[in-house]
Each structure stands twice: as structure tokens, then as C-alpha cells.
Amino acid sequence: MMTLQEAINVRTSRRKYLDGALEAAHVDKLRKLIDGYNKVGGFRIELVLNNGEAFKGFTRSYGMLSGVNHYFGFIGTDDDPHADEKIGYYGELLVLHSTTLGLGTCWVGGTFSKSNTPFKLAEGERLACLITVGNVEKNLSSKERFIYKLTHRKTKSESDMFTSDAPVPEWFSEGMAAVQRAPSAMNKQPVMFSYEDGRVRASVSDTTKYLVGFDLGIAKLHFELGSGGGAWEWGSGAEFVYGKSRNKVRDIKQDLTIF
């Protein structure tokens, strides 16, 4: 089976989904992953199956998504300042695991009807985002190719995404290669890495901006997988410890809000 590292190199946003249910074995694996991730704290994930009401109608997705019937819902808690970063990290893990199963995915920040989602929110909870998931054709449709060109700009070079005070080790370069392929809102790639005094850090300029927390978590995960393993602390400017596993749970592991 495809590894998560291999999934990084083949995954792309999919916006056109085929009719039909997900395979029972795939649903079982995804639910087991969700159960593990929900133990982290600061967020919870729910898998919605056979219910595309949140995406019905042209205006709800601006014509950029079609055939959506299954998706992950991410509910953040207001009392955790790192909730969005955790959602980005573990949401991207679900994206990559789904890719290894041959499923298509797309991060969706706002082009859906919140009132038509089935989530029941407790006090202090908020619906942060969705990730669509489903069966897709092997190749992108002509409409998907057009939307990709419309919503993506040229990817930054690796050298534009980090600073260093010395030649970087190979594992760092491999981590940055994976970061270069990380999805981000409007493809802005706002996360800056640094290698100084042998220490690796990841930062964003403003954690209060919409979707930036997701971008930070996604980029951290890609670096972790690309470098061959390690662990991040939560937060902008937090340090990465190379070779140290975060925990076992990871491995169980025209609207521009779509990426």
C-alpha cells in the first residue's frame, strides 16, 4: 500500500466526486483514525456519510464542488489557542490516509451551508472547516484542471520558505521538499521555517488570520513526514525535535477557501 510520504507526492484537491457509498473497509479505517485523533483534545472530528445537503446548489460551492456526499467535519473549541493548528495537522493526516485508500479529498473553509450540516455544537464549540472525501475518477476532469489553475499561483521555491545560519542537513531538505507540496489557503504558503543553532522552528506572521492556523498545522505535518520523523510543539515559533515520535495515535495517523 502507498505510504503517507508517497501520498504527499500524488495527492491533489479533488472537486468532482462519483456517486456511491464508500467501501465499508475504508469507512472502518477512517473511523478508527478519527477515534484516535479525537483523543488529542482541542477539537473533534465527525465523518458524515451519504449526506451532501451542505453542498447542494450552485451558490453554496460557487460551482467548484460537485457530487459531494461524504465529508469530515472539524469542530474546534474556543478555549484552545492551538485548535486550528491541530485541525490542520490531523486533518491533513486524514487527507493523506484517504489518498492511500484511493479516495479524493478537498479542504473546504467556507463554501458550504453550515445550517445544513448535522453537527450539534456544545457551548464553546465552533464548526471550523470541512474536508470532502469520496470516490473520484483517476484523472482530473477538465473543470477540475481549470479550477486548479484559477485558484493556485506558482509554488514557492524551497529556499524562499526557510532561513538558516549554516548548511542544512539532508533530512531538513527532505522535510522542506514535503512542505513545498503542502496545501494552503489560496496557495499562499505562509509558514516560514528556520534552521538555526541546529534547531528547527516553524512560524507564521499572524496566527489570528483566517485559515493560517490550518496552514501551520498542515505544513508541520508535511515537514515531519518528509524529514523521516520527529515531533513538534504546538504554536507559531515552536521547535521540532528530529527523530522523536509525537505519539502512537498519528500512525493509527472562485472561492479561495478551498485548497
User: Residue 60: is its pLDDT beyond 70?
Assistant: no
Strand partners, 201: 194, 239
Residue 64 confidence (pLDDT): 81
Contact 168, 134 (CB under 8 A): no
Hunting for cell 464548526 — which residue is that?
A: 127
Write down the mean pLDDT value for the chain. 89
Domain ranges of the chain: 4-147, 152-243
Name the class of domain 152-243: alpha beta
1-10, 89-98, 141-150 — which is least confidently predicted? 141-150
pLDDT band at 148 (very low <50, low <70, confident <90, very high): confident
In this prediction, what percent of the chain has a pLDDT beyond 70? 90
CATH number of 4-147, picked from 2.30.30.30, 3.40.50.10320, 3.40.1030.10, 3.40.109.10: 3.40.109.10
User: CA 47, CA 30: separation in Å to the nearest integer?
Assistant: 8
User: CA 200, CA 169: separation in Å to the nearest integer?
Assistant: 11
Q: Do 152-243 and 4-147 fall under one CATH topology? A: yes
Contact 86, 35 (CB under 8 A): no
Residue 129 confidence (pLDDT): 96
User: Residue 253: is its pLDDT beyond 70?
Assistant: no
Summarised one tens digit per residue, pLDDT across range 191-217 is: 999 999 999 999 999 877 878 999 999
User: Residue 55: is its pLDDT beyond 50?
Assistant: yes
Summarised one tens digit per residue, pLDDT across range 11-49 is: 999 999 999 999 999 999 999 999 999 999 999 999 999
Q: Between vectors from CA 112 to CA 28 and to CA 218, what angle results, nearest 5°?
A: 60
